[in-house]
Chain A
Amino acid sequence: MQPDASFDYAGAFAAGLLVPGAAAPAGVTGPGGRPAGRRYDVYRNNVTVSLLNALAAIYPAVQRITGEAFFREMARSHLRQTPPTSPLLFAYGRDFPSFIEIYPHAAELPWLADVARIERAWLDAYHAADAAPLSPAALSMIPPDRLAEAIFIPHPSTRLVRSTFAAVTIFAANRTTEHTGRIDASTAEDALVVRPEFDVEVRRLPLGGAIFVAGLIAGRPLGEAAAHAFAADPRFDLAANIAGLIEAGAFTSVTSGHP
């Protein structure tokens, strides 16, 4: 089928949807051929507000920290630059943390981008595939001399977010209505995000834990992942870390290493 002259209607109509003040495209009118004026603005407003609301729904802690007016201005700037590329709005906003990192007005909140990364990971965990987490008993099935070769399969919801700031504590404080005390933002914190059943949990990983989890998620054997964690921090406690991860539901299965 040959497109007729009117066939670029979507391109012409889309051109002004993210541009404040842009006039309606030629041939788009109100009643009786009157200029479209505010009528075209309705579409621009629908698009902008719905995407703003989508970002606010994904990043409630960021909005609570910045306040609504600041958040909406920041989110508006982002969505005009980076509209969604998928019709699944729960997948939107992956570039928002990086945008926050370089957003000049947020420079005084250097941990804000990492809080956003935890929120993005939270929603990914929420929508991840369901799977039964590994039971603590499964590990005891592996002979002790083979334990170092054990390979863990991560739960589909498992996410790791590392921060040089107290992002986990700041995230948690701003996703609850409970009063929290003063936070030292300069403490580095790493987050483990998991949804073993219906509730997403965000836990602060112990010392060396992030390197250990990253190794296991990447499919490295237990011994190798532990060695990397020890090398990074000699205070790394292997038994406590492995027990904590299994209790959190971060894995679905473990194999003795030989495929």
Chain B
Amino acid sequence: MPLCCPPPLGGVAGTCFKHEHLPAILGEPPQRGFFEVHAENYMGAGGPPHHALERLRRDHALSLHGVCMSIGGPSPVDRDHLARFRALVARYQPTLVSEHLAWSTHATSFFNDLLPLPYTAATLARVCDHVDEVQEAIRRPILLENPATYVTFADSTISETDFLRSVSQRTGCGLLLDVNNVFVSATNHGFAALDYLNDFPLAMVGEIHLAGHAEQRDDDGDVLLIDSHDGPVADAVWKLFELVIARSGPLPTLVEWDSNIPEWQVLKAEAAAAQRILDRAAEGTRHAA
């Protein structure tokens, strides 16, 4: 079964798709932007989730975002899970397909969180094997997302940006740059988000993520940011996003909001704010040309 890719999205902003928003979305003309769904939520055989996604998909481009492939884990990719993922790609023909540089399954247990990995030559080789396997199964490249992390590994010998660059170069995958994750990790580990972004291979980025985060304190009273997706995008993250877009040019950009989910109009306004930044950048590119 050939899996074809719909045309590229360009610099449009989208939001995650929440079922409670469907009546409001369908009550308006089709959005200019796209919608993103977590693949695992549509891995049931049938029922209301597929019905809702089919209705949304009729008039909107889709981004399929896998959360549980455990690409960053030492264990082999779960073949059943990969088959389900492939079936979703074939059924819904998403414009974008992405997964995480993280793991969530070990031995027989699924932990339902994006867990971190050390960055070494051995883990790099293993991650590349897993990305190859996924891309061969779905017969198209994926975008791999940079994680938000709270700890580091003493064993790491490669920087995260070099690790992601190498995965992209070796496997042909693109990257999903989550700007909120950059800000969260930078704060948590005490590095400059701008330095990370300067090192990030922007030419390989196929999608941007923006989201809200929460603030806690660690044992020493230092700020510890949590990638909570439960509120509006922070001002500092908007500023970083503008800097990224000024350098990369307009890219498909998604606003994530996964708990304490607001009314559709609130989420839509967040996407509109991203769209204004993308449109300004597109305007600037045209004037410079």
Contact = CB atoms under 8 A, between A and B. Distances in A.
B81 A87 contact: yes
Interface residues of A, number: 55
Interface string B149-184: 011111100000000000000000000000000000
Contacts of A157: 47
Contacts of B112: 47, 50-51, 54, 84, 87, 89
B151 A1 contact: no
Interface string B213-228: 0001111101010100
B288 to A, nearest CB: 40
Contacts of B29: none
B113 interface: yes
Contact of B155 (A27, A86, A89): A27
B122 A4 contact: yes
Given A43-B115, A87-B110, A38 B151 contact: no
B108 A47 contact: no
Contacts of B78: 87
Nearest to B66: A87
Given A14-B107, A40-B150, A47-B111, A6 B44 contact: no
A98 interface: no
20 contacts: A5-B155, A6-B123, A6-B153, A10-B115, A10-B117, A14-B107, A27-B118, A28-B152, A29-B151, A33-B154, A38-B216, A39-B218, A43-B115, A43-B151, A47-B112, A89-B40, A89-B112, A127-B49, A130-B50, A198-B51
Given A42-B150, A127-B45, A6 B120 contact: yes
A9 B150 contact: no
A128 interface: yes
A159 interface: no
B126 interface: yes
Given A29-B154, A88-B40, A83 B111 contact: yes
A99 interface: no
Interface of A: 1-11, 13-14, 17-18, 24, 27-40, 42-43, 46-47, 50-51, 54, 83-90, 126-131, 156-157, 195, 198
A192 B99 CA distance: 39
Contacts of B95: none
Contacts of B67: 87
Contacts of B14: none
Nearest to A131: B46
Interface size for chain B: under 10, 10 to 19, 20 to 34, or 35 or more residues? Answer: 35 or more
Nearest to B152: A29
B205 to A, nearest CB: 26
Given A9-B153, A11-B107, A42-B216, 4 more contacts: A47-B112, A87-B67, A128-B45, A130-B50
Contacts of A88: 40, 43-44
B106 interface: yes
B2 interface: no
**Which of B46, B111, B218 has the most chain A CB atoms inside 10 A of its CB?**
B111
Nearest to B228: A46
Nearest to A50: B112
A198 B110 contact: no
A128 B126 CA distance: 35
Nearest to B111: A47
Interface string B26-37: 000000000000
Interface string B232-268: 0000000000000000000000000000000000000
Given A38-B218, A51-B112, A86-B110, A30 B151 contact: yes
B73 interface: yes
Contact of A3 (B113, B122, B222): B122
Contacts of A198: 47-48, 51
A42 B226 contact: yes
B122 A127 contact: no
B218 A30 contact: yes
Given A31-B190, A47-B112, A6 B155 contact: yes
B190 A32 contact: yes
A50 B259 CA distance: 11
A209 B46 CA distance: 27
